[in-house]
Chain A
Amino acid sequence: MSAHDVLRAATPHAEPRAGATLGATCAVLAKDLRLLWRRRASWLAAATFATLSVLTYAFAFDLVTDDVRPLLPGVLWVTFLFAGVVALGRAFADETEQGTLDALLVAPVPRTTLYAGKLVAYFCALLAIDVAMLALATVLFNVGLLTPQLLLLTALGAAGYVSLTLLLGTLGSRVHAREVLLPVLALPLLMPLLIGGVRATGAALDLPHGDAPWLWLLVVFTFWSAAASALLFPLAVER
């Protein structure tokens, strides 16, 4: 096999083949899922941190009482938020440090494709941790938490959370105290997600929750954050 064969320049095809973008999205998604699997040690750390949070709340707020249900939505959602902070802190850091982000930017793929691939991969990982926490809390507090309603709420919350934090994750690696700065920037933006999530979970558990349409707040917020992040990501990631 001669070098000439290896290097022969491609016949310049004017348009890419149909389905090339979809193929690229699947390639990015597969790559991110594979990388997440290879880095599963750090995700186990995030899951352990989440478990520790639940235990900490149990001790700090004395959750051994019979009437633990009113406190559960808060415990769950704060755990989700802080587990997310631990899990997503390095979302783009490795790509930036290894230089692979440049390789992705140079490839003929739309920037939104890069975002979508990472979004789906991290959403799956965070959802897995959150569902594990729901199962743990079900056992610890004797309350049935693995219902379709609660799973839907958790999925919405994870989607809204991951979409905004991925956008913020493009913060350059040269900034000092980057890991602390990301939650400082993300949490005020996510207050509506927290409020809506806690109240909607309370509603699902038959706790008093007022008249406001909490589920709609969660849905609208999640869609808005996904749309805004997808639109602004190409601007954020350019050098």
Chain B
Amino acid sequence: MSVSPTGAHPAPMIAARSLGKRYGSVPVFEDATFAIAPGARIALTGANGAGKSTLLAVLTTLAAPSAGEAWIGAHAVSRASSALRRTIGVLAHRPMLYEELSPGENLRFFARLYDVPAADERCEELLRALGLWRRRDEPTAVLSRGLHQRLAIARALVHRPAVLLLDEPETGLDADGLALLDELMLCAPGVTVLAATHRLERVARWADGTLHCARGRIAASGAAAATPVEACAPLVAVRT
């Protein structure tokens, strides 16, 4: 993230204004306002149940916001347009994989779903990069948790998203897997990353800033706070 010579900030890649989510009458978080510049890497921290997964659910369009609005690029999250969904790569708590299909079949299905050009080559490239090529034809159900997570990473990356929304991506990964995670996701240049994590000792290694969830509030620090909220103004104009 850089400040251009004129002092103006680039338009944020992920932004939220007064975003809130409640389930029934119980609010999970309220009045969240933050802006994340393109290429920034932001860690989402907080205790269990503080709202990290819920915030990610709202940003990935899986849950509709109860109040306020959020944007990814120029697309409003509440519209959940297919252009927005094409821009994001998602890693959730569960691997979100078909257990009866093999890693190759899983990845090829998602590649076709995302209309990835040259799908077969892309799948081979990812499977080799993530160390799954040898086991690409076995049913996913027999693979270990770590291999599931690697396949989930491949699935998240298959369509070359510009924004990565990750929920505890380190789960189940061994040292090699963590190195791959850092290389492909957390430290990759040009991609905006928002990752929920409990591994606070690693945060300093890859994150430019943090969003901290506590008691229904989301506080920004570091790079997440450096981009002023006024930079959201152009996006607000786009919305109306």
Residues of A in contact with B (beta carbons under 8 Å apart): 1, 3-10, 12, 14, 16-17, 20, 23-24, 26-28, 30-31, 34-35, 38-39, 98-100, 102-110, 238-239
Q: Which of B85, B87, B190 sits near A107, CB closer than 8 Å?
A: B85
Judged by a CB distance under 8 angstroms, whether B30 is at the interface is: no
A108 / chain B contacts, CB cutoff of 8 Å: 82-83, 85-86, 114-115
Known interface pairs A100-B97, A102-B62; A8-B160 also in contact (CB < 8 Å): yes
Contact indicator A109/B184 (Cβ below 8 Å):
no
Q: Mark B183-203, 1 if CB is under 8 A from A, else 0.
A: 111001111000000000000
How many cross-chain pairs have Cβ atoms below 8 Å apart between A and B? 112
Contact indicator A106/B83 (Cβ below 8 Å):
no
Residues of B in contact with A (beta carbons under 8 Å apart): 57, 60-64, 82-83, 85-88, 90, 92-101, 105, 109-110, 112-115, 117, 125-126, 128-129, 155, 157, 159-162, 183-185, 188-191
Known: A17-B117, A104-B113. 15 other contacts (CB 8 A): A1-B129, A3-B183, A7-B160, A7-B188, A10-B159, A27-B112, A38-B101, A39-B100, A98-B97, A100-B97, A102-B62, A102-B90, A106-B88, A107-B110, A109-B82
Specify the chain A residue showing the minimal Cβ separation from B73: A12
Specify the chain A residue showing the minimal Cβ separation from B60: A106
B184 / chain A contacts, CB cutoff of 8 Å: 3, 6-7
Specify the chain A residue showing the minimal Cβ separation from B62: A239
Contact indicator B161/A99 (Cβ below 8 Å):
no
A30 / chain B contacts, CB cutoff of 8 Å: 109
Contact indicator B90/A106 (Cβ below 8 Å):
yes
Specify the chain B residue showing the minimal Cβ separation from A103: B96
Specify the chain B residue showing the minimal Cβ separation from A113: B113
A9 / chain B contacts, CB cutoff of 8 Å: 160-162, 190-191
A162 to chain B, nearest CB (A): 21
Contact sample, A vs B, 9 pairs, CB 8 Å cutoff: A6-B126, A31-B98, A38-B101, A102-B92, A105-B62, A107-B113, A108-B114, A108-B115, A239-B63
B130 to chain A, nearest CB (A): 9
A1 / chain B contacts, CB cutoff of 8 Å: 125, 128-129
A16 / chain B contacts, CB cutoff of 8 Å: 82, 86, 115
A161 to chain B, nearest CB (A): 25
The docked-state distance in angstroms from the alpha carbon of A76 to that of B144 is 46
A3 / chain B contacts, CB cutoff of 8 Å: 129, 183-184, 188
Contact indicator B100/A38 (Cβ below 8 Å):
yes
Known interface pairs A27-B113, A106-B85; A99-B96 also in contact (CB < 8 Å): yes
Contact indicator A34/B190 (Cβ below 8 Å):
no
Specify the chain B residue showing the minimal Cβ separation from A26: B112
B117 / chain A contacts, CB cutoff of 8 Å: 17
Specify the chain A residue showing the minimal Cβ separation from B162: A9
A7 / chain B contacts, CB cutoff of 8 Å: 157, 160, 184-185, 188, 191
A235 to chain B, nearest CB (A): 11
Contact indicator A106/B160 (Cβ below 8 Å):
no
7 closest A-B pairs by beta carbon, nearest first, are A10-B160, A99-B94, A108-B82, A27-B112, A103-B96, A108-B85, A20-B115
